[in-house]
Each structure stands twice: as C-alpha cells, then as structure tokens.
Amino acid sequence: MEALQAGELTERLRAGLPYDAVLTDPDITAAYANDMASFCEAGVPAVVVMPRTVEHVQHVMRTATELQVPVVPQGARTGLSGAANASDGCIVLSLVRMDRILEIDPVNRIAVVEPGVVNAVLSRAVAEKGLYYPPDPSSWEECTIGGNIGTGSGGLCCVKYGVTAEYVLGLDVVLADGRLMHTGRRTAKGVAGYDLTRLFVGSEGSLGIVVRAVLALKPTPPPQLALVAEFPSTATACTAVCAIMEGGHVPSLLELMDRTTIRAVNDMANMGLPETTEALLLAAFDTADPAADLAALGKLCTVAGATAVVPAEDATESEMLLQARRLSLTALERMGGTTMIDDVAVPRSELGAMLDGVAAIAAKYGLTIGVCAHAGDGNTHPVVCFDSSDPDESRRARESFDEIMELGLRLGGTITGEHGVGVLKKEWLARELGPVGVEMQRAIKSAFDPLGILNPGKLF
C-alpha cells in the first residue's frame, strides 16, 4: 500500500517534470535527508525532485497538495538547525538546479536571481560590475541565496551591513497549492500592503517556495583593513566592544575569538595566533581612511586593557587575519568528535555576561565550549565539543546547549541571531515568543499552508 502510494507520487511528479529531475533511488535520496546540524531528527524522503523552472515547482506543489504529501525545500543543506531535514515520506524539493542570475542592474542596484544561485557566485558576479552583495555566511562558497533567504542568514559583514533580510526587495513564491505569488518590488522604496517579502525571509520554507528574488546591492566599498587586538580576559575584550560601538565607530567587521578557539585555529592551521591571550578582537574598516579609523579603534582597545594591538599593513595581511576567524568553526569541529554550534544573540552590552555565563556552563558540564562571536552584533557562536559515542557526554552537551539559550534569553537576547530555528530550537522558539506570539505565528502558517504540507515539524 505504501509502495503503491510512492509509485503514484513518482508517476504524478514525472508527468510534469523531466525524467532526470525525479530521483527515487534510495541510496541517492538518502543523501538528501539532512543539513549540517547535530541532534536533529531526519526522516526518509520518498522522492527528491530537482526542478529547473518555476512551472516545475508549481507542478510539484500542485501534486503535493492533491496527494497531501509533505514537501521539504532544500538549498545546499549547509544549514545548522535541521530546517532542511527530510520528514518520512516527503518530497525533497531541491532548488540547486535553479541557479541562474537573471539580471544585474547597476543603475537600480539590484540583482534578480533564482534560489539555487550560490552566494559566492553571486557575490563575484556583482563585484565585476562594481557592486556588492554583503551577506556572507561562513558557508558562502556553497550555500545558496534561496537557503540564505529561508534561514535569514548573516555573516561577518552584519555589524555594518545587516543580514540577508535587508537585501531582499521582492520575491516570486510558489504557494502550497501551486499558485504563483509576487511580493515586494524592484524599486528602492515601497509600502504597498503588508510586507510579505519580509515574512518569507527566515520562514524556513514553511510558507511557500521562493523561486525568484530581487536583491538590493550596494556599491563596492574600499578594500577593508583589519587589526587584531589581544586581551588578557574576555571581560576586557567585551569592554572594548562596548567602547567602540558607544564611540560611534562603524567597523565593517568586529569579531571575537576566545582562547579555546584561538588554540583550535592554531592546531589546525598553524596560524601563530597568541595562545597566551584570553581573547582576540578582530576589527576592520572599509572606509576612505581605514588606517586612521583603525588607529582610533586601537586606542579604545588599549584603554580597555588590550596587551597588544596589531594593525595589518595591507589588504593581504588583513585577509590572513580574517582567514583565522573564518577557520574558527571548522577548527573547533576538529577538536571534539562532534560539535553543536549555538547562535545566541544578546544586546552587545551583555556580551561580557554572556561569555562569562558560557564559561560557567562549560565548567558545570565538564565540556569544552569554544566561543567565536560577531561581537559587534552581540551574536555569539558557542561551540559545544563532545564525544557522541559517549551517552553521558552527549546528554551533557545537549543540556549545556539548552542552558546557553536560556542564558541568552535571560540577558534579553534571542535564541538565534542568524542560523534559524529548524528542528533544533523549536521548543525554544515557543519560550522566546510566548504563547500569544506562537498563536499568531501559527495562524500565519495556517493561512499560507492550510494542509500543513510545507516543511512540517520545523519552527513550531
């Protein structure tokens, strides 16, 4: 009976899709079961479809609605919250073959893209025309714009340039029943009706399938120049962060690495970071006179207690410093067998309390937790390292991960700054939103997806 249904589903899908767009071999479809998050349940997909056109996606959604089969949209599956994990018997809707850049328009400073375009491909293509697409998640060489929109991704640039949401002007969306809806605009401004564009950003594929996006671009800024500042404690580093932001500075990057992270990066890549320091701040400016701006920022670091402030001489040196930061997550992942990456953002004035709290949690549970942070945003990534073959250590890892979110909420923060909710944090979303918030969010979900077929089991 179940096999018969799967056969019918495949047949119905094939009626409107090219043969090679419907994958049913279980060895292949199994590879589409999950994204990069730990501790997230994942089911077995019935079928994986890889549409190339809007009409293909419409056919998939019409079929899914008729047969009431769940649909899990996927990009590059680099997400960290299980939002792209398959559910049993679902259609995995992979959008990676819809990967065309349809338009880059320097006068209007927009790009029009399909969802499967890789972030780095777009970034390079617009750079050739003197334009800049800021959002730069760590996975930018692999992750897709559609995935970035689904999760509301951030990156290193956010302290100056904001997150993905701020660059999405308009969308074409295929609704649950296969109808096509246009949202937003191609213009710089527009307030015609409710902002459905923004509603879709961060909705993790639970409201509809984004099949086209109008993105805002900025002119290419001057090359950024970076400095590194060494601190004897995380507290002094966080004091510097507050002083920098209170002082009216607008760095293009303001990152923090704790001692665990520094050592992990050195172990992996022999970067020669100063292991005796307790925290590093990495700052950069992409202004007209970055050296002058760095000098002013460096002074604030020194006043806050930095033991050394080392500005890069040029763009190449700057890039090396940033490389150390970019390796942080990978390096921490190599330390323990398994890692869970948290993503708690707090008001930046609470960054010191957050880091102290994480250290206390690590001690309490007897675990290594390295922290790197988009410090200027107050967005921390505590990385819990553990041996997943040890049940007790796994339990402690999960508990410490949760306690970190609880700490973040207590400090006036949010459980997720840029990674999303997915499966991993859905119990916590309810705690953050409260019952009225959850009820209204569910009401919106029901309005767009009355049958509950769009990425079920995520967010709520």
Q: How far is the CB of 368 from a second copy (least distance, A)?
A: 26
Going across the sheet that includes 91-94, the strands are: 22-23, 47-49, 91-94, 71-74
Pairing status of strand 379-386 against strand 279-285:
unpaired
Tokens standing for residue 165: 């949401």
The nearer residue to a second copy, 217 or 321, going by C-beta atoms, is: 217
| Minimum distance from residue 182 beta carbon to a second copy (Å) | 6
Nearer to a second copy, 207 or 264 (CB): 207
Q: How far is the C-alpha of 362 from the C-alpha of 357, rounded, in Å?
A: 9
Shortest gap between Cβ of 103 and a second copy (angstroms)?
Answer: 11
Inter-residue contact 438 to 374 (CB < 8 Å): no
Can residue 165 be called a binding residue for a second copy (CB under 8 A)?
Answer: yes
Interhelix angle 234-246/290-304, nearest 10 degrees: 130
Quickly tell me which residue has 């679902």 as its tokens.
Answer: 90
State which residue, 330 or 441, has the beta carbon closest to a second copy.
Answer: 441
Choice from 48, 72, 159, 171 touching a second copy (CB under 8 A) = 159
Among the residue ranges 39-47, 224-232, 281-289, 357-365, the one whose residues contact a second copy (CB under 8 A): 281-289
Smallest separation, CB 203 to a second copy (Å): 6
Decide whether 71 or 163 has the Cβ nearer to a second copy.
163
What number of other Cβ atoms are within 10 A of residue 336's Cβ?
Answer: 21
In the window 118-157, what residues touch a second copy (CB under 8 A)? 130, 151-152, 154
Among 14, 109, 299, 396, binds a second copy (CB under 8 A): 109
**Interaction of residue 158 with a second copy, rule CB under 8 A:** yes
Residues 230-269 close enough to bind a second copy by CB under 8 A:
242, 245-246, 248-250
The residues, ordered by sequence, that sit 6+ positions from 212 with a Cβ below 8 Å of its Cβ are 54, 102, 112, 113, 114, 115, 171, 172
Rounded least distance, CB 340 to a second copy, Å? 18
Contact 397, 342 (CB under 8 A): no
The Cα–Cα gap between 133 and 365 comes to 41
**What is the full DSSP assignment across 36-65?**
S-SS------SEEE---SHHHHHHHHHHHH
List binders of a second copy among 331-370 (CB under 8 A): 345-349
CB of 417 to a second copy, least distance (A): 4
The least distance separating a second copy from the CB of residue 270, rounded to whole angstroms, comes to 32
Quote the radius of gyration of the chain (alpha carbons, Å): 22
Single-letter code of the amino acid located at 156? L
103 near a second copy (CB under 8 A): no
Among 416, 424, 455, 457, indicate the residue that binds a second copy (CB under 8 A).
416
Contact region with a second copy (CB under 8 A), list: 23-31, 61-69, 103-111, 278-286: 103-111
- Which of 55, 278, 402, 432 is the binder for a second copy (CB under 8 A)? 432
Q: Can you tell me which residue has the tokens 């410090």? A: 375
Q: Which residues 375-414 are close enough to bind a second copy by CB under 8 A?
A: 376-379, 412-414
Question: According to the binding rule CB under 8 A, does residue 182 interact with a second copy?
Answer: yes
Closest distance between a second copy and the C-beta of residue 195, in Å?
5
Phi, psi of 362 (to 5 degrees): -60, -45
Within 10 Å of residue 292's Cβ, how many Cβ atoms?
Answer: 11
Residues in the chain: 460
Any contact of residue 287 with a second copy (CB under 8 A)? yes
**C-beta of residue 96 within 8 angstroms of C-beta of residue 119:** no
Which residue, 219 or 391, is less far from a second copy as judged by CB? Answer: 219
Q: Is 169 in the site for a second copy (CB under 8 A)?
A: no
* Binding residue (CB under 8 A) for a second copy from 3, 128, 219, 270: 219
Q: Which CB sits closer to a second copy, 193 or 391? A: 193
In angstroms, the CA 253 to CA 374 distance is 8
Q: Per DSSP, what are the bridge partners of residue 253?
A: 284
Q: How many residues bind a second copy (CB under 8 A)?
A: 87
Nearer to a second copy, 99 or 377 (CB): 377
Nearer to a second copy, 7 or 223 (CB): 223
Query: Residue 75 Cβ, how far from a second copy at the closest point, in Å?
Result: 16
Structure tokens at 314: 């040029």
Binding residue (CB under 8 A) for a second copy from 38, 65, 74, 183: 183
- Inter-CA distances, 232 with 53, 72, 296, 378, Å: 55, 47, 20, 20
Q: Closest separation between CB of residue 250 and a second copy, Å?
A: 6
For residue 54, state whether it binds a second copy (rule: CB under 8 A): no
Q: Smallest Cα–Cα separation from 134: which of 160, 171, 109, 113?
A: 160
Nearer to a second copy, 45 or 154 (CB): 154
Q: How far apart are CA 40 and CA 204, in angstroms?
A: 15
Q: Minimal distance in Å, beta carbon 272 to a second copy?
A: 31
